[in-house]
Structure 1
Amino acid sequence: MPNGSLGEWLHPNSNHQPEARHLSLAQRLIILLDVAYALDYLHCSGGTPIVHCDLKPSNVLLDSDMVAHVGDFGLSRILAEGCSYFQPSTNSMGFRGTIGYAPPEYGAGNMVSTHGDIYSYGILILEMVTGRRPTDDMFDQGLSLHKYVEVAFDNRAMDIADPELVKEVEHVPTTTDNPTNQRKVDTLISLFKLGIFCSEEIPSSRISTKDIVNELRAIKG
């Protein structure tokens, strides 16, 4: 894709990308909506659900218009008709996905479901709004990206937000006629909440792709 992967934009390598590239809050929101539409199509639009199993920034590709496309279906699974999960055969059992993005239930190698993609999507949201990978060195001894955001976002949303987004918000003056600043803060908080809801530890607690799309469309306004 002409604009590479989302991962390259979130975590630019100065050696390969001498010119700094940044995604605005509005761009991130649209990319998240593009990916949500893709997941909804995979999970709900065919005769049988398709589980991607490896959703992460490097597998989200951006075209010349910055429209996001989900790629790399090497680990994907088609669920049997009427089933909500895929039970691997004994000889194919093992960890599926990428550390940090794969849901906790995949650790035992026993079940692949659309709920797993929702978890990965939630982590993707949290990475996009914090600028931190789920494999960051700070996440150890039981601390995860999900818990990090869950504990802090209510009172310290701007402290845990991606510094690039903080700059964007702080550079917009808030006035009676131009409440743009507050709208952006509200958007950030809404995305934090959505990321938390999607990356709950219990699969049945995660929201559906339809609800994700509706929530993002409401946030976008």
Structure 2
Amino acid sequence: MNKFKKRLWMMACGSLLASIGISHSANAANNIQHFKQKGSGASAQWDQYDDCSSSSTSVYVGETETLGASGDSAPFVSVWVSTYNFCDGSSHYSSGYSYADIQFNKNPGFKPSTLVATIPASVCSYTYDPDSWWGSYTCEDNHTIDVNLTWTPTEHPTRSHSHYNYGSPTYKFSSHSVGSTAPATVSGTVKQDGSLDLITGKLTYGQVYSDHSGSIYLGDSYPIFLAQPVVAY
């Protein structure tokens, strides 16, 4: 960690401590818990419309590392595809997600980021039946989605920060996040079962992001929650 980042983090922690008002009075918390996380990722969506139908394909990949714990990253990728026919009332859906078989070369700055992943997927279809209230709905789970995409930022990242504070008679919680996002063009393929092209429309949006977040908890008992990375869209 360079001096600037270290100084930024120390200032953030200092502001968190100050904002929740640590004291040595009888009501001061006996338990202090710190969480630090950093993450990065990318997202994209393609849409297409015609006189009878609409289709949408979206991809999200994120990787979060919990600092001070194991230090391991937790990559995650999800894909959602939907097609709806206005003329006959039929629809088709494909969805998949996985924490495995992911290669994510993350470069949240002004550099390309790449994703290569093969994930298990479900494919569902709905057929409208005028003689039935529910129609016909079927799903199959024995499918895969192959993703090979590259995000290339078109602008330098836009930086943002946020604060959150909450208190009760028994505990106090404060969090701080510093992040950056950049719009990006997206190239590559998303295919079902190795052959069916799931990108059928134009790119609606693409972006890459990164964030560093931290939180501090003070209280006599530990609340039921887990710190989550802040994702800016």
Q: Do the two structures share a fold, i.e. TM-score over 0.5?
A: no
Larger Rg: 2
Looking at secondary structure, tell me which structure has more helix per residue. 1
Looking at secondary structure, tell me which structure has more strand per residue. 2
Shorter-chain TM range is under 0.3
